Chain A
Amino acid sequence: MFVFSGTSSQGQAHETTLAQIVADGLSVPLEQITVVPGDTAGIPYGVGTFASRVGVLASTSAAYAAAEVRKKALAVAADHLEAAPEDLTLEDGRVTVRGTPGRGLALGDVAAIATAPRPGYALPGAMDPGLEASGYVHVPQSTYSNGAHAAVVEVEAETGTVRILRYVAVDDCGVMINPLVVEGQIHGGIAHGIGNALIEEIVYDPAGQLATGTLDGLRAATRHRRAVTRGASHRDAVPAEPARRQGRGRGRHLPAPAAIANAVADALRPLGVEVCEMPLTRERLWRRVRAAARD
């Protein structure tokens, strides 16, 4: 079973997530599914992977396509087995007639029949050939994920060094398609957000020349500080409508700089230091603390 998607995988586990969706929709073992993202030969239309769209859009369209293929497989198998479609079950990649487990067809055989109809014979219901379907989804508007983050930090006023003692994220995910993938997104987002909050900055000089032309100058976040994540859910099923699904690709990056800045501001309040900039680099904080001490 091949799944082609108009996405482009950057390590977010599209291959796993989309395979799960199709395996569920078609009752096929996960290992029989190969997901091929990022090949325009596989699917001509798509937008790509950004803005948390895969969980919302690609996964829903994969579910639509799987449901269509399931319907088609049952119709073709019913015709071949001379049984009513409602008497058939599709389980573990095999269509069988209810009550007579010996009578059945592997999904691969159904595909062969659907792909190569005998000349002179039409497929049941005059359906189009091929055990395949494309699913496209439309959402009337952007979807919104939510959560709450909190940080406890310690600031060494003498050097401007910020240590993150605790970082807690509660994300309202509802049912997660894959908890490991979701948690990975949350951790990655927080790490990226911490980088934005404390260390990463692109600096230009007054002539418009890049002053941070090496990674040494940029100081991207390369070491992941430990964060604790907790799930919260007010739903007990993945919503069928795509508009009610939520992506987790970027949301977790949003609150991290704010949470850390608020914690730093709280820590430095006794010293009269204002925190109204990002990133809070060591040098910038050190200067702020010194300026506040002079005032």
Chain B
Amino acid sequence: MLHVAVHRSPHAHARIVRVDPTEARGRPGVVHVLVPSDVAALGRLPLLVPHASLIAPACPEILPQEIVSYAGQPVALVVAESAAQAEDALAALQVDYEPLPAVASLDDALRSDGPRVHPGGNVASRFTQRVGDAAGELARAPVVLRQRFHLHRGAGMAMETRAIAARWDGDLGQVTVWSTTQAPQILRRLLARYLAMPEHSVRVVTQDIGGGFGPKAIVYAEDILVPFLARALDRPVRFVETRREHLLAVTQERDQWHDVEIGLTREGRIVAVRDTFVHDCGAFVSWGVIVPILTSVSVPGPYRVPNYEVTLTAVYTNRVPVTPVRGAGRPQAVFVMERMLDLAAERLGIDRVALRMRNLIQPDEFPYDVGLISRDNSPRRYDSGDYPECLRRVAEAVGAADFAAERERAARGRTRDRNRLRALRRRYRSGAL
């Protein structure tokens, strides 16, 4: 079994000036060093989920030939007799970079005079969906609230990192790949393509892969290159990602800025919502823009929103690519809508549960057509449910009716704590402690 260690870009954005594997190739146990020019012909990973709104969609090259687009992007692979030898030889691999200005935040991405992640510009997609006339209704609404929300990046962070092992059977012309992928058939299809083999000669086995949460459904460069190396070297090859690599290079999610307006009647009925948001794609969009699309159609949630307008702008940054992480764009939408409803309840002086009750879709309204097209290109239509009953039960179980009294008690507790602190301080100062 041979082992792989990966040289990753130390820069968020840089030009690769020179890759010299000579010294690394001479290190103990090193069998092979794979450099970008070796796999130039493999090209890029495919755009798995195209969307009409995508402007010049950028997908990563299997190994970058000229430009690296995020810190952690794989650039070269060292193959050795042991994992430790492969890791050690990385230090001897010479890769010279010429750093380029990085687009490190949404702020950077939106600056018209700022650096660009890709030659096509920083906007990956921008489009609007409308139900009714949100602009007109907001202008007429008796009560309008506006708010900006910032939602930051998180990660799936499975306890088990990614791992791949591949074995080439030259006699049969077959490759077997043991992988931690969440999507074995997608990986097989892509392997057949990049290895130029019929699909039936590629077997992907996934057994117990550990946690997934979305980021393991993505096909990464190593997923293609480990089987590629097993065939090229005619030896079984294994790659086990380190925790640091998992933190550095596995896809993430959630960075969005929302500017939201909600219009209501004085009785607390929603008349319109308008949301304009920016979504961080990271450096590439292999999975298209399904995350921000899901955000855009999820904002109305279980509520009747007769007039809704959403404009999403998805931008590239020089950060790890964004793909779905458990929830896939929806937690951001729920956050935005539910915060707005609490703010509206406060402004209107209406109980928070009552305000929601007033706006929930009713059990006799199913199937309920939200009026939006979702990421599967089909209408967003809810088939069934009893939303008011769920809310009634949760309010009862959590004791919402006693919230005011509970807050009182908490405030008293706080006073008690303060008094205790003061007493302690007095005793300390007087030397009694």
Closest A residue to B199 using CB positions: A44
Q: Is A293 an interface residue (CB 8 A)?
A: no
Within 8 A of B (CB), among A220-264: 220, 228, 230, 232, 234-235, 243-244, 249-250, 253-259, 261-262
Decide: A202 near B185, CB < 8 A? Known: A41-B205, A148-B390, A172-B385. no
Q: Is A10's CB under 8 angstroms from B150's CB?
A: no
Considering only residues 182-230 of chain A, those with a C-beta below 8 Å from chain B are: 189, 192-193, 195-196, 200-210, 212-215, 218, 220, 228, 230
Which of the segments B22-30, B208-216, B307-315 contacts the partner chain? Answer: B208-216
Q: A116: which B residues are within 8 A, CB to CB?
A: none
Among A67-75, A107-115, A136-144, the stretch in contact with B: A136-144
Whether A48 pairs with B248 at a CB distance below 8 angstroms is no
Would A10 and B210 be within 8 Å (CB), given that A207-B12, A208-B102 are in contact?
yes
A215 and B72 CA atoms in complex are apart in Å by 16
| CB-CB under 8 A for A40 and B188, given A140-B378, A208-B318, A210-B248 | yes
A234 → B minimal CB distance (Å): 5
Q: Report, as a range, how many residues of chain B touch the other chain.
A: 35 or more
Which B residues are CB-close (under 8 A) to A8? 181-184, 206, 209, 212
Contact stretch, chosen from A57-65, A90-98, A125-133, A271-279:
A271-279
Tell me, yes or no, whether A39 is within 8 Å of chain B by CB.
yes
A-contact bits for B375-413, CB 8 A (1 contact / 0 none): 110111111111101110111011110010011001000
Beta-carbon contact of B155 and A218 below 8 Å = yes
Asked if residues A37 and B203 are in contact (CB atoms below 8 Å), the reply is: no
Q: Pick the residue among A148, A208, A213 that contacts B391 (CB under 8 A).
A: A148
Q: Is A9 an interface residue (CB 8 A)?
A: yes
Minimum CB–CB distance for B301 against chain A, Å: 9
Q: Is B186 an interface residue (CB 8 A)?
A: yes
A17-25, A26-34, A77-85, A162-170: which one contacts chain B?
A162-170
With CB as the reference atom, state the residue of chain A lying closest to B370: A144
Instruction: Say yes or no: is A2 at the interface (Cβ < 8 Å to chain B).
Output: no
A55 at the interface (CB under 8 A from B): no
B183 touches A50 (CB 8 A): yes
What's the minimum C-beta distance from A112 to chain B, rounded to whole angstroms?
A: 27
Using A45-B185, A265-B342, A269-B346 as known contacts, say yes or no to A243 and B331 having CB atoms under 8 A apart.
Answer: no
- Does B363 reach chain A (CB closer than 8 Å)? yes
- How distant is the Cα of A46 from the Cα of B151 in the complex, in angstroms? 33
Q: Are B247 and A212 in contact (CB under 8 A)?
A: yes
CB of A104 within 8 A of chain B?
Answer: no
A135 smallest CB distance to B (angstroms):
16
Contacts of B193 in A (CB 8 A): none
Docked CA distance A168–B395 (Å)? 9
B390 touches A254 (CB 8 A): no
Among A140, A148, A172, A278: residue with most chain B CB under 10 A: A148
Please, which residue of chain A has its CB at the minimum distance from the CB of B402? A152
Q: B212 contacts which of A39, A49, A169, A220 (Cβ < 8 Å)?
A: A49
Segment touching A, from B88-96, B132-140, B320-328, B422-430: B320-328
User: How many residue pairs, one in A and one in B, have C-beta atoms under 8 Å apart?
Assistant: 269
B338 neighbours in A (Cβ, 8 Å): 255, 258-259, 261-262
The answer to whether A50 touches B324 (Cβ under 8 A) is yes
Q: Chain A contacts of B331 at CB under 8 A?
A: 193, 196, 253-254, 256-258
Q: Compute how far the CA of A39 lies from the CA of B207 in the bound complex, rounded to whole angstroms.
A: 8
Within 8 Å by CB of B334, from A45, A46, A49, A258, lies A258
The complex places the Cα of A146 from the Cα of B212 at a distance, in Å, of 23
Q: Across the interface, which residues of A come within 8 angstroms of B71, CB to CB? A: 208-210
Most chain A C-beta atoms within 10 Å of own C-beta, residue among B203, B209, B331: B331
- Per the bound structure, the CA–CA distance linking A287 and B125 in Å amounts to 35
Bound-state Cα–Cα, A202 to B104, Å: 13
Contact indicator A51/B150 (Cβ below 8 Å): no
Q: Which of B13, B385, B398 contacts A152 (CB 8 A)?
A: B398
Return chain B residues, CB-CB under 8 Å to A215. 157, 243, 247
Interface flags for B75-112 (1: CB within 8 Å of A; 0: not) read 00000000000000000000000000011110000000
Contacts of B383 in A (CB 8 A): 143-144, 243-244
Do the beta carbons of A38 and B247 come within 8 Å of each other?
no
A124 near B: Cβ within 8 Å?
no
**With A39-B203, A213-B247 in contact, is A204–B104 under 8 Å at CB?**
yes
User: Which single residue of chain B is at the shortest CB-CB distance from A167?
Assistant: B398
Question: Which chain A residues lie closer than 8 Å to B384 at the CB level?
Answer: 234-235, 244
- Docked complex Cα distance between A276 and B335 (Å): 9
Give the distance to chain A from B191, nearest Cβ to Cβ, in Å: 10
Taking the closest CB of chain B, its distance from the CB of A236, in whole angstroms, is 13
Contact in complex: B217, A48 (CB < 8 Å): yes
Contacts of A101 in B (CB 8 A): none
Decide yes or no: A50 and B212 within 8 Å by CB, A170-B397, A209-B71 being known contacts. Answer: yes
Residues of A within 8 A of B319 (CB): 204, 208
Q: Are B397 and A47 in contact (CB under 8 A)?
A: no
Contact B247 A207 (CB under 8 A): no
Chain B residue contacts of A220, Cβ below 8 A: 155, 157
Q: B50 at the A/B interface (Cβ < 8 Å)? A: no
Residue on B nearest A10 in the bound complex, by CB: B212
Contact B104 A205 (CB under 8 A): yes
In the complex, are the beta carbons of A258 and B339 less than 8 A apart?
A: yes
CA distance A49 to B186 in the complex (A): 11
B154's contact among A9, A171, A196, A235, by CB below 8 Å, is which?
A: A196
Q: Is A117 an interface residue (CB 8 A)?
A: no
Closest chain B CB from A179 CB (angstroms): 17
Q: Identify which of B72, B186, B352 contacts A48 (C-beta below 8 A).
A: B186
Residues of A within 8 A of B154 (CB): 195-196, 200-202, 279
B127 within 8 A of A: no
Q: A147-B390, A262-B339 are in contact. List 15 more A-B contacts (CB 8 A).
A: A6-B185, A8-B212, A9-B207, A38-B204, A38-B209, A40-B205, A50-B324, A193-B331, A201-B152, A207-B12, A209-B71, A250-B327, A257-B334, A258-B334, A258-B335
Interface, chain A (partner B; CB < 8 A)? 6, 8-11, 37-41, 44-51, 140-144, 146-152, 154, 166, 168-172, 189, 192-193, 195-196, 200-210, 212-215, 218, 220, 228, 230, 232, 234-235, 243-244, 249-250, 253-259, 261-262, 265-267, 269, 275-279
- When A and B form their complex, which 5 residue pairs have the shortest distance between CB atoms, in order from nearest? A208-B12, A48-B183, A38-B206, A208-B102, A258-B338
Q: List, sorted by A's number, 18 A–B pairs whose CB atoms are closer than 8 Å.
A: A8-B183, A10-B211, A11-B211, A49-B182, A49-B183, A50-B214, A142-B375, A150-B398, A169-B394, A201-B153, A208-B70, A220-B155, A232-B389, A243-B383, A261-B338, A276-B147, A277-B150, A278-B152
